[in-house]
Amino acid sequence: MHYALYWAALGPAMRDTPASILIVDDIAENLHVLSTVLGRAGYVCRPVTSGEMALRTMESALPDLLLIDVRMPEMDGFTLCQRIKAGEHTRDVPVVFISAVADASEKVKAFEAGGVDYITKPFHAAEVLARVRTHLALREARARLQQLNSELEERVSARTEELQQANRLLLAEIRERQQTEEALRQSEERYRLLIETAQEGVWQIDAGGHTVFVNARLAEMFGYAPDDMLGRVAWSFAPDGEQAANRRCLLTGAGCDGEYRYQRRDGSLFWARVQTHRLLGEHAESRGVLAMVVDITARKQEEDLRARLAAIVDGSEDAIASLALDGTVTSWNAGAARLYGYEAVEAVGAPIAALVSPSERMDELLQRMQQPRKQVRVSPFETLHRRKNGTMVDVAVSVSPISDSAGRVVGVSAIARDISERRRAEEMQRRSAVLEDENRRVLEESRLKSGFLANMSHEFRTPLTAIAGFAEFLYDGRSGELLDDHRQLVGNILLSARHLMRIVNDVLDLAKIEAGKTNFRPELVSVAQTVAEVRDVLKSLTLEKQLSIHARVASTLGLVEIDPGRLKQVLYNYLSNAIKASPAGGRITVSVTPDGEDMFRVSVHDCGRGIAPEAQRRLFAEFVQLETPQPVGVQGSGLGLALTKRIVEAQGGTVGMRSTLGKGSTFYAVLPQRPLLLSKRGAEHGTGS
C-alpha cells in the first residue's frame, strides 16, 4: 500500500488527531447544523456547497468521512459518490448519504453508488453522531486490519523465504546425491542437525497425507516416539470433528498458515500453529508438504484466561479500573460506568482523580495511588467519591499493584464498591437504638407519672369526700337552719368540692388508662337512651344559658355492646364542652350514625365561635383549656378531651374534631359496635386494653 494512502486510511484514534469530515450540501442551513453538531463532538468539519468543490477539496486533503446530500444542482450526490469511488486515492473514504427522500429505491441507488449508510431527514443529532462514530470506527478497524495483514504478510514472507531457502538447500543436496555419496552424506547430516535442533516441529507428509518424517520436537509435542508416527495419516492426529479442516490445511497446494488442535498420545489436546510448504519432485510434481509446527497452547491458555478475566471484570457489580502509575485510567468496566456515570470511552485516558475525587480529598487519593509503586501495601479503605452528575457516594476501595513479567510495578488495579446502603443501614440502626432508648425512657417516665397521679388522686379523694359530705349536710340544713349568706357560702364550698372531685376522678381515670388498669364492662346499650340520659343530667346548664340540645340517632343503628358508663362519660365531656362554647340561646346537635359495618360515630356540634387551626392541634392533650366564656360554677379541668381520647382509643376507636371560625365546632368519636378481642380480654382479666 502506498505510504500516503496508508496514512490517510488510518483512523483518527491511530493518528492522535480529530477525525476530518467533509460535508456536501447546497443548503447553507444544513451545512451549519451538521457542522455545529459534529464540531461539538470534536470532529473537524469542512462544509462545501457542491460536488465540484468537494472533489477539489479532496485533492488537497482526504477526509476521514463524507456526508453528502442526494439532491443537489449540477452534480447530485449519487454522481459525486461514483466519481469518488472511481478515484484511486479517494475510493476508500466512506460516504454517508443524507436525504429527505425515504424511498427504498433511493437507498438502493445510494448503496449501489458506493455509499455505506443512508440517513433520512429530518435527522436527530444523536443518530448522526452515532452513525458517524460507527463508520469512523469501522474505517479505523479496516485500516488496523490492513496494517496487521501487512505486518503478518511480511513476517510470513520472511519465514517462508527462510523455509524456502532451507528447502532449496535440501533439494540441492538431494540432487547432488547422484554426484557424490560423500556430498549426500554431508548434506543429510547438515539437514538432520538443522531439523533435530530446531525449536519448531518439522513434519513431512507425502502426497497421500501419510507421515514421512517427524523431528524429535514434533514427536515430543504429540507424546510419541518418532517411529510410531511414521506412516500414519497426518490429520488422524486431530480430534474428531476437526479432521476435515486439518486435512485441507495439510494437503493444500498453495501452502497453509493456521492454528489447529491436535490430540496427544495420552488423549490430551494442544494447540499448534501450522505452516505448510509444498514439496516438488524433479519434474515439479507434488511430493507432499513440509509443515513447521509450533506449540501455542500456553499462548491460547493465556488468551482464554484473559478473556475469562475480562468477562468476570466486565460482569462484576463492583467498579473495577486499572490505572497507569501516573493515575491515568487504562481500563474501566461496566460496574464503574454504573457507579460513577462515566462510560469507558469517557474514562479511559483521563486522570482518575479528576473523575471521582472531590477536591478536598484529591491529595488522599493520589497518595494512596502511589503506595503500590513504592511497594507499600494498601489496606482496603472507605472514602467518598464524586459521580459524573456531581452527587457523592460512599465507597469501599481496595488497591493492588499490576506487575509485568519482570516483576516491575507498571500500574494499579482499583476496586470500588458502593456502600451507601450499608451506611444508611448503619445510620438507621444507630437512630433506631437512640429511639429505643428514648422510648424506654419516655415509657418509664409515663409509668412513674401515672403511678404518682393515681396515688395522689387517691390521697385527694378521701379529704374531698369528707368536705363535700359535710358541706352537703350543712347546705341541706340537717344541722339546723343557716342564714342565707351562710347558706350561699356553704353552697360555694359544695360546688368547689364537687368540681375538685371531678378533676381528681378524671386524673385517676387517665392514670388508670395509661397504666393499663382500666376495666371495661360492655353490655347491650341503646345509644338513643344513653344520649337522652346525659342530656337530662346537663339540663340545668342548658336552661341557665337557654340552649337546646337536638339528638339524631340513625334508625339503622340498633343496640350496641359497649361499657355504658364510659359512653356516658364521652357524651358528657363532649356536651359539657359544647355548652361552654355555645352562646346563650344557641343550638347543640348530637348525631349518632353507623360508620362502616362494625363501628358507629357519635358527633356533637356546637354553635360557638369556632377554634383557630393552631389551637386545634393541642385540644386532646392533658390540661389544655381554651379561653371561652364560661358560666359561674362550670369550670373546666383541661382533662375532659384528653380522657375522652384515652377512653375511646382503649376500646379500639378514634376521636377527632372539625372547626371553622364563626361557624362552631364538631367533636366526634368512632367506637366499635361490639367489643374488640383486645377489649374483651381486658374486661375478662380486669386490665385495660
User: How many degrees, rounded to 5, is the angle at CA 14 between CA 12 and CA 18?
Assistant: 20
Going by the DSSP 8-state scheme, the letter that residue 74 receives in this structure is: S
Q: Please, where in the chain does CATH 3.30.450.20 lie?
A: 302-418
Are the CB atoms for 22 and 67 separated by under 8 Å?
yes
- Assign residue 173 a region (left: φ > 0; alpha: ψ between -120 and 50; beta: otherwise): alpha
User: In the predicted model, is pLDDT for residue 623 greater than 80?
Assistant: no
Q: How far apart are CA 680 and CA 689, in angstroms?
A: 8
Structure confidence at residue 511 as a pLDDT band (50, 70, 90): low
Residue 473: closest CA among 494, 488, 501, 492: 494
Which residues are CB-contacts of 506 (< 8 A; sequence separation ≥ 6)? Answer: 637, 639, 640, 643
What stretch of H or E contains 682?
helix 677-685
Are the CB atoms for 230 and 212 separated by under 8 Å?
yes
Are the CB atoms for 206 and 230 separated by under 8 Å?
no
pLDDT at 624: 54
DSSP string of 8-56?
A: HHS-HHHHTSPPEEEEE-S-HHHHHHHHHHHHHTT-EEEEESSHHHHHH
Amino acid at 541: L
pLDDT at 22: 93
Q: What is the mean pLDDT of residues 181-209?
A: 75
pLDDT at 185: 66
- The angle, 0 to 180 degrees and rounded to 10, between the axes of the packed helices 77-86 and 104-112 is 20
Side by side, which strands form the sheet with 548-553?
Answer: 548-553, 587-595, 599-605, 664-672, 654-660
User: How many degrees, rounded to 5, is the angle at CA 622 between CA 621 and CA 627?
Assistant: 80
Query: Where does 476-563 have alpha helices with state H?
Result: 484-515, 527-537, 539-544
The CATH number of domain 518-685 is 3.10.20.30 = no
- Assign residue 375 a region (left: φ > 0; alpha: ψ between -120 and 50; beta: otherwise): left
Predicted confidence (pLDDT) per residue in 626-664, tens digit: 554 444 444 455 567 888 888 898 888 999 989 988 889
Structure confidence at residue 688 as a pLDDT band (50, 70, 90): very low
Cell numbers placing 183: 556430498
Mean pLDDT of the residues in the chain: 81
Cell numbers placing 643: 380522657
Predicted confidence (pLDDT) per residue in 418-477, tens digit: 888 888 888 899 888 888 888 888 777 767 766 666 666 666 667 777 787 777 777 777
Beta bridge pairs of residue 569? none
Are the CB atoms for 222 and 244 separated by under 8 Å?
no
Are the CB atoms for 66 and 88 separated by under 8 Å?
no
Q: Please, where in the chain does CATH 3.40.50.2300 lie?
A: 3-148
Cell numbers placing 319: 467498579
pLDDT at 510: 61
Q: How far apart are CA 141 and CA 306, in angstroms?
A: 21
Percent of the chain with pLDDT over 90: 23
Residue 392: closest CA among 382, 406, 404, 377: 382
Q: What is the mean pLDDT of residues 483-503?
A: 73
pLDDT at 7: 39
Q: What is the mean pLDDT of residues 289-311?
A: 84
Which is more confidently placed, 576 or 376? 576
Residue 222: closest CA among 45, 137, 211: 211
Which is more confidently placed, 659 or 167? 659
User: How many degrees, rounded to 5, is the angle at CA 98 between CA 93 and CA 101?
Assistant: 140
User: In the predicted model, is pLDDT for residue 12 greater than 80?
Assistant: no
Q: How far apart are CA 168 and CA 188, in angstroms?
A: 13
The distance in angstroms from the start CA to the end CA of the chain is: 96
pLDDT at 487: 76
Q: How far apart are CA 24 and CA 52, in angstroms?
A: 10
Q: Please, where in the chain does CATH 3.30.565.10 lie?
A: 518-685
Highest mean pLDDT among 13-27, 81-95, 346-360, 627-641: 81-95
User: In the predicted model, is pLDDT for residue 257 greater than 90?
Assistant: no
Q: How far apart are CA 429 and CA 423, in angstroms?
A: 10
CATH class label, 302-418: alpha beta
Q: What are the backbone angles phi and psi of residue 598, rounded to the nearest 5°?
A: -115, -5
Which is more confidently placed, 454 or 112? 112
Amino acid at 311: A
Amino acid at 676: L
Work out the number of other CB atoms within 10 angstroms of the CB of residue 463: 11
User: In the predicted model, is pLDDT for residue 199 greater than 80?
Assistant: no
Percent of the chain with pLDDT over 70: 81
pLDDT at 374: 58
Which is more confidently placed, 408 or 65? 65
Model-level pTM? 0.34
Q: What are the backbone angles phi and psi of residue 92, rounded to the nearest 5°?
A: -85, -5
The greatest distance separating any two alpha carbons of the chain, rounded to the nearest whole angstrom, comes to 172
CATH entry, 3-148, from 3.40.50.970, 3.40.50.300, 3.30.70.2970, 3.40.50.2300: 3.40.50.2300
- How remote is the C-alpha of 389 from its chain's centroid? 14
pLDDT at 684: 38
User: In the predicted model, is pLDDT for residue 161 greater than 60?
Assistant: yes
Which is more confidently placed, 280 or 359? 280
Q: How far apart are CA 490 and CA 587, in angstroms?
A: 33
Q: Is 683 helix (H, G, I), strand (E, B) or coil?
A: helix
Cell numbers placing 358: 472531590
pLDDT at 633: 41
Q: Is 61 helix (H, G, I), strand (E, B) or coil?
A: coil
Burial pattern 637-664, b for ≥16 Cβ within 10 A else e, equals: bebbbbbbbbbbebbbbebbbebeeeeb
Predicted confidence (pLDDT) per residue in 547-585, tens digit: 999 999 998 888 999 999 889 889 988 998 899 889 999
What separation in angstroms does the CA of 415 have from each of 117, 348, 401? 41, 16, 12
Cell numbers placing 487: 347558706
User: In the predicted model, is pLDDT for residue 193 greater than 80?
Assistant: no
Work out the number of other CB atoms within 10 angstroms of the CB of residue 89: 14
Percent helix, strand, coil in the chain, to 5, is 50, 20, 30
Q: What are the backbone angles phi and psi of residue 63, rounded to the nearest 5°?
A: -80, 170
Are the CB atoms for 338 and 348 separated by under 8 Å?
no
User: In the predicted model, is pLDDT for residue 114 greater than 50?
Assistant: yes
